[in-house]
Amino acid sequence: MANTIRTTGFQALIKALVEGRHAKGITQRDLAAKLGCLPATVANIEGGQRRIDVIELIALARALGMSPQALFEIAVLETDESELFNNFGRSRRSG
């Protein structure tokens, strides 16, 4: 599987989520409670150690009172196009 958690777009998305949580004045534990997950899950997402899918992005955004579309736009605008194709290239099977 491609390593998209290291892309500039994903890192910008995570930064926006962390800033949104701080702006809301809630802890990782508070956010985890809203999401129904463990605080470690939030910590892993914010630490760039866990990917999030589109449904999780929507849940995170809504839990933080943010727009999922705005968060997605951050990822789109900040992603270097070469990272997209490099990531797909790594997921190809040889032979």
How confident is the model over 36-51, as pLDDT tens digits?
999 999 999 999 999 9
Is the domain spanning 26-82 CATH 1.10.260.40? The answer is: yes
Per-residue pLDDT, 83: 76
Per-residue pLDDT, 95: 43
Average pLDDT value over all residues in the chain: 87
Residue in the block written with tokens 């727009």: 67
d(CA 7, CA 23): 24
Q: Give one word for 7, left, alpha or beta, with left for phi > 0 and alpha for psi -120 to 50.
A: beta
Q: Which residues of the chain have pLDDT under 70?
A: 1-5, 86-95
